[in-house]
Amino acid sequence: MIQTPSTEGWLRSLAPRFGWGEDWEEIERRALKEFVPNSCGSIGRPEDIAHAVAYLASPRAGFVTGADMMVTGG
């Protein structure tokens, strides 16, 4: 799950139904626990994807071939 305006709006709309409160940090924590648990303990941000893309497009990934790179938070 990546935090975009639509994702945040969707989770905020679910919050009252699940009793997650109104604070974004609490909503994020509870949504992760109940929907998409991961090792990082946070919802992905667009910049997390951008960092992976920048690496793959850079000369530093010149020896990377045919790899699956999962940007999922673990």
Residue 37 confidence (pLDDT):
87
Contact 37, 74 (CB under 8 A): no
Place of tokens 């910049």: 47
Residue 27 confidence (pLDDT):
95
Query: With helix as H, strand as E and coil as C, how does 1-67 read?
Result: CECCHHHHHHHHHHHHHHCCCCCHHHHHHHHHHHCCCCCCCCCECHHHHHHHHHHHHCHHHCCCCCC
Query: Where do the structural domains in the chain lie, given as residue ranges?
Result: 5-61
Tokens coding 25: 């940090």
Residue 58 confidence (pLDDT):
96
- Whether the model clears a pTM of 0.95, i.e. scores above it, the answer is no
pLDDT (tens digit per residue) in 21-74: 999 999 999 999 998 888 888 899 999 999 999 999 999 999 988 778 888 887
